[in-house]
Amino acid sequence: MLTSPVLMPQTSIEQLDSTKPPQSLKVGQEMESLFVSVLLKEMRQAGGEGGLFPGDHSDTLGGMFDMFLGQHIAESGGIGLAASLQNVLK
């Protein structure tokens, strides 16, 4: 009797459940990082055109800083979005 390897289960449910929380936490942190970065960018742009160092270079550096700060905030606890997403993905 021939069986297709596609139809045979490769992992058990226990193995899938044991790997799910770290992956869902990472996805949640990445989503939270992106959300906080965009939020910071919009807040900075709403402040006006002047700023401390006006110009294109300031905008580029400000965008990089927003991304770094968003990632740092998400990795250090964040605003709770990653935890909420992890609960939804469970």
Instruction: Give the domain ranges of the chain.
Output: 22-46+55-89
Q: pTM (2 decimals)? A: 0.66
pLDDT value at residue 20: 53
pLDDT value at residue 36: 94
pLDDT value at residue 13: 56
SS (H, E, C) the chain: CCCCCCCCCCCCHHHHHHHHHHHHHHHHHHHHHHHHHHHHHHHHHHCCCCCCCCCHHHHHHHHHHHHHHHHHHHHCCCCCHHHHHHHHHC
- pLDDT means over runs of 10, the chain (90 residues): 57 56 80 93 79 69 90 90 83
pLDDT value at residue 53: 63
pLDDT value at residue 82: 87
pLDDT value at residue 68: 94
